[in-house]
Structure 1
Amino acid sequence: MRYLALAMNLDGTLATGGRADEAALAALSRLRHTGRRVILVTSRRLADLTSVFSSLELFDCVVAENGALLYWPARRESTALCRPVPESFVRAMLQRGVTPLVRGQAVVYAPRAQAGAFVEAVGELGLELQVIFAGERVLAVPPGINKGEGLREALLSLGMSVHEVVSLGAGANDHSLLDVSECAVAVANALPALKERAAFTTRGAAGAGVVELVEELVQHDLRTDGVWTPQDSLTLGYGPSGERVGIPAYGENLLVVGPRGDEGASYVQGFLERLLQRRYQPCVIDCIGDFEPRDDMVKLGDRLHVPRVSQVMAALTAPAVKPVVSLAALAPEAQPGFFRELLPALEGMRLRTGRPHWLIVNGAQRLWPAGARDALRDAPKLGETLLRVEDPGAVARPILEQMDVAVGVGPAPARALQQLAGAIEETALHLPLSAGAEHAVLAWFIAEGRWPLRLRAPPRRAERLRRVPEQVEGDLGALGFTFRGRRGRTSPRAHNLRAFCRLAAQVDDDTWLFHLWNGDFSRWLRDVLHDDALARKVAAIECRYELPASDSRREVCGAITHHYALAA
């Protein structure tokens, strides 16, 4: 299964007018029977939920008080995630005659009309509190607390990550809930701003929308054409025109083929870097012993010590741990046996939690050698797996046939892909035997039947740091950014990022907003400067249409300055 949990708001989603939708509750029961988790995320107090539900045991976890409290119905245990709003604030509200004033374990509630009194008291008392709206109520919430952060804590306790979660919301305080999920959904009656944030909107409102989403999850795991197509992907490289080419983060396998050397290792390390930037959990199986683990990875085993399967699984229990499992101390003929013991444990963990998100196997020919007598019988079903091999002919054909995309690396990537075509008995590829440019690779989309495409490999962080002076203070020439505006009037070209920030302060608001709302800034950073991380930060600002031109200028230029200050 792709999605293992559904997290949803209560009012306006699962309940209307204080009453839970019975059809929606029945749908959630069916969803749980598939093995998926159901998490309720609400701004209400835990005590208030008894009037809505006869029992909370339908939910694996309840995130209450706008993210301040976790409740586990099966254990009947609750955990506060913050200190309560100070008593001084409550006294100030009572002195102002605010009524009815309701206290939760951490949050204070009042009618929406009392929002002005809440804001005044926060300012007068010098408190660090958030004042937010939830339907007809206003809430005083401790700093850093919201539905999204509460959901993060619930997922951590469940051993899951945001990549396995679908979230469903309707109200103004559901933005953070939708942010903490791989697929964000809004019901038909949701606020327009929330619908803009969502990946898609259900046809039905409130409970009907819940039923509709559950049916799509149960029947199709949200893979039905037209329901939702993930826009984000893992970058493989950049095409001739600078366009980004990638693969889905879920559901495909990648083969990196070519001679051992710096180029192949660098490409795999770059792919790993992009996984970690997206907060996926990889597990590296190093059959050869030459994989260089990053500083933030944990190495299990070495040339003298064989890791235990229990060690690997214990390390993977924490979503933040990225293990490199070295099999260098095992003889090549013994490595398949170790992996046959490890694989069922990994598959079981993936079924429960969705992790590890990707397997990276360095030297896959040792696990599945082509000449092995039991290659057909022992070939596992792979998913979200990267295999690094030198000679594809040395790998069992049932494994090669599961690869959706192959990337040829090294001085002659076409020759490597031709060897692969011969190994799986595909039509020979008539291509030049060299990549023809520095850092160029060839990507063959086997499952789609597309001919190999020449790509420029994305730069790794170390290479980006070397390029900082050119992008920040050098002369990018024709690659610079030109402010043209709605009327096409050309302003001076920003020949580097420092000049971009200077010109950004000078162009008129209409020109600035024209480029901002068209996504031109993030597109330039991503497709021309090949800086995905900075492009994502700027793209998030481009979507905030409510920002005045002056504020968006400050945020975009601040993101650029902060990004490269960190890199330096």
Structure 2
Amino acid sequence: MRFSVLATDYDNTLATNGAVSAEAWEALTRLRRSGRELVLVTGRELDDLLAICAHPELFSRIVAENGGLLYRPDTGELRTLAPPPPAGFAEALRARGVLHLGVGKTLIATMHPYERIVLETIREMGLDQHIVFNGDAVMVVAPGVNKASGLMAALDDLGLSARNAVAVGDAQNDHPLLAAAELGVAVANAAPRLSERADFTLEVANGAGVAALVDELVQSDLAARMTNKCPLRLGERAGTNETTEPERTGGEAADLLLEPPAQSMLIVGASSSGKSFFTRAVLEQLTAQGYQCCVIDPEGDHDELQGAISLGDARAAPSPEALESVLAHPSLSVSLNLMALPFADRPGFCAQISASLHALYARTGRPHWIVFEEAQHLFVPDAAGVRMPAAPAGLSTLYVAPRAEALPGTLLGTVDTVVAAGAQAGEALAAFARCRGIEAPTLAAEPAQGTMVLWRPGGGHRHAAVPFVPARARQSHRRHVRKYAQGMLIPERSFWFRGPDGALNLRAHNLTLFVELAQGVDDETWDWHLQRGDYARWFGEVIGDRDLEREAQAALEARRQGADAAATRDRICGAIACRYTVPEMPTMPNLLATPRTPSGEA
């Protein structure tokens, strides 16, 4: 389920004149039976609430005193979330004639028109307190304490995420509550400003409105209300193609925002076209906004993603148990490095992990995104005994691959958003369209260097494609020494020693094996690749090591000046040894394997 928790205000939202109708209680019972959690968030003092609330046991947690108290009805456990009222403050208010004064564990409450006296007393006593209005009620709490902070404490206690929460309210003090949840809803009788800022307003008031919201939530998981609280910023628009794709303008640049959110997104482009850099920028935004992501990463490109725990490395595959442990924390994302996993085992591992993630999503609505890097090696149609489960409704997926045609048609049929990177973006979109059997979008011209193209084939304007300058990641996309020294690069990113006549078929899937094989191949084979610039190209485009690329170029120049093949071999292998830690006994699996899609020498 996408929405796993409903947070509701009490007075004038769930209740009318302090009482909750039988219809509303029945609706809340249906909500709990659907497997969802229910959180009550109120400005009332807890004892006052419990005296009039007929069924507190329906709530998983109760947040009282406008965010100051957290109560667990099933155990009676009570936890304060804020400091007590300042000493002497209540007495000072009484001395000034303030009536209707309530003193809670973390809150002092009175009524209009005493707010002026309250404010003057705070100023004169030099206190650091915050006044909150709720209709005619005037509440005084510590700074930073509100219904949003209380909701976050309740969700943390339940192991749930605000990105899976729906909140409903009616008054001024409900603004933070609605803003904190993924979907903020106002009842029909809500204050006008709250209705303006809510994601939508119910057609009926009070408890009947909450009951209608529950019915829609249980029946459809609010599918028609699909939204992202913070839409993805893909970058800045470029070019002149007309489109109705949403945009917001800031200054002179037009931001390209992904609204409505993608459910299945594909990023395609050749090696070194910027796919992984753009994917990193997308992931940074998602994790910063509180969305939990799981990245299945065959090459460890996202090992250092902020807000994510990396599992697995070049020597050990990630374990499903460790993955489950990390994802139990809603604030944590995870990157699964598959480099130590044999190439043929990766589709099966991916299918197993995907099934577990889908089951977790059914229970909690998390993770919110699953990202498949090098998806063409995870979704392999002819992988023996592997059946990749389809993603459940509501779960967002992102696939990254060099070409659309490398992916199964069933997967491409689910894609609603395509981003094409590189100089051949137009052809990449046309290839996607051919695979889907739909008409390709039109581009006025191939995009300029450094731009990408967005196309939403399921949208109303099927032929519109939007060129844009992609957003840049805040964290630099770093290449990892261990990954290239000891890991297992996919076949098309490996180096293949073939020789001038194609007599060899030796795969170096990391730098360790490159050195091992380089020292074993004959001089003619070594020199043939050197003269073609294959070493420099592989070091620069795949390994991403420009210093090593320059060493290979210098070795080529030395060869042209008369150095022999052995000397150039020693120079390049020596440079690798200096820059990377090379084990004394490297393992050499799959050296003679033929790749499914050979890439040539580099």
User: Normalised by the shorter chain, which TM-score bucket?
Assistant: 0.7 to 0.9
Equivalence for 1:198: 198
Please state if 1:348 is matched with 2:346.
no
Equivalence for 2:499: none
Equivalence for 1:208: 208
Equivalence for 2:153: 153
Aligned Cα RMSD in Å?
A: 2.6
Deviations 1:230-277, CA, capped at 9 Å, x for gaps: 686323442545655444575611111111215122221222222234
Equivalence for 1:389: 401
Whole-Å Cα distance in 2 between the matches of residues 462 and 23 of structure 1? 50
Taking a change above 3 Å as real, the CA distance of residues 133 and 244 of structure 1, as seen in their structure-2 partners, is: closer
SS in structure 1 opposite 2:429? helix
Whole-Å Cα distance in 2 between the matches of residues 96 and 460 of structure 1? 58
Q: Match of 1:84, as an amino acid? A: P
Whole-Å Cα distance in 2 between the matches of residues 427 and 347 of structure 1? 29
Pairing partner for 2:467 from 423, 436, 455: 455
Equivalence for 1:469: none
TM-score (norm 2): 0.71
Whole-Å Cα distance in 1 between the matches of residues 144 and 447 of structure 2? 51
Please state if 1:65 is matched with 2:75.
no
Taking a change above 3 Å as real, the CA distance of residues 343 and 437 of structure 1, as seen in their structure-2 partners, is: same
Whole-Å Cα distance in 1 between the matches of residues 433 and 354 of structure 2? 28
Q: Which moved more, 1:446-455 or 1:427-436?
A: 427-436
Equivalence for 1:235: 233
Equivalence for 1:415: 427
Pairing partner for 1:313 from 312, 320, 324: 324
CA-CA distance at 1:139 after TM superposition: 1.8
Whole-Å Cα distance in 2 between the matches of residues 407 and 221 of structure 1? 28
Taking a change above 3 Å as real, the CA distance of residues 203 and 452 of structure 1, as seen in their structure-2 partners, is: closer
Taking a change above 3 Å as real, the CA distance of residues 288 and 255 of structure 1, as seen in their structure-2 partners, is: same
Whole-Å Cα distance in 1 between the matches of residues 269 and 182 of structure 2? 33
Deviations 1:7-33, CA, capped at 9 Å, x for gaps: 111111111112122211211111222
Q: Which moved more, 1:70-79 or 1:109-118?
A: 109-118
Larger of the two Rg values belongs to structure = 2
Deviations 1:293-325, CA, capped at 9 Å, x for gaps: 335432211111111111112122223322211
Q: Match of 2:55, as an amino acid? A: S
Please state if 1:107 is matched with 2:107.
yes
CA-CA distance at 1:48 after TM superposition: 0.8
Deviations 1:150-177, CA, capped at 9 Å, x for gaps: 1111112222222211111111211111
Q: Which moved more, 1:73-82 or 1:437-446?
A: 437-446
Q: Which moved more, 1:67-76 or 1:243-252?
A: 243-252
Whole-Å Cα distance in 1 between the matches of residues 60 and 209 of structure 2? 21
Taking a change above 3 Å as real, the CA distance of residues 433 and 305 of structure 1, as seen in their structure-2 partners, is: farther
Equivalence for 2:42: 42
Percentage of identical aligned residues:
35
CA-CA distance at 1:362 after TM superposition: 0.8
Whole-Å Cα distance in 2 between the matches of residues 355 and 51 of structure 1? 36
Whole-Å Cα distance in 2 between the matches of residues 33 and 405 of structure 1? 35
Whole-Å Cα distance in 1 between the matches of residues 456 and 115 of structure 2? 56
Aligned length: 460
Whole-Å Cα distance in 2 between the matches of residues 179 and 426 of structure 1? 42
SS in structure 2 opposite 1:20? coil
Query: 1:113-512 to 2 correspondence within 5 Å?
Result: 113-224=113-224, 233-237=231-235, 238=237, 240=239, 244-248=255-259, 252-291=263-302, 293-374=304-385, 377-381=387-391, 383-422=395-434, 424-427=435-438, 429=440, 435-448=446-459, 450-451=462-463, 453-461=465-473
Deviations 1:180-232, CA, capped at 9 Å, x for gaps: 112211112111121121122211111221122222222333334xx787686
Deviations 1:364-398, CA, capped at 9 Å, x for gaps: 122211333556x4343363111111133332322
Q: Match of 1:78, as an amino acid? A: L
Conserved? CA contact 1:42–1:64, under 8 Å: yes
Whole-Å Cα distance in 2 between the matches of residues 319 and 418 of structure 1? 39
Structure showing greater relative contact order (alpha-carbon pairs closer than 8 Å, 6 or more residues apart): 2
CA-CA distance at 1:52 after TM superposition: 2.1
Whole-Å Cα distance in 2 between the matches of residues 251 and 414 of structure 1? 21
Equivalence for 2:79: 79
TM-score (norm 1): 0.75
Q: Match of 1:43, as an amino acid? A: G
Whole-Å Cα distance in 2 between the matches of residues 148 and 231 of structure 1? 15
SS in structure 1 opposite 2:57? coil
User: Where does the alignment leave 5 or more consecutive residues of structure 1 unmatched?
Assistant: 465-568
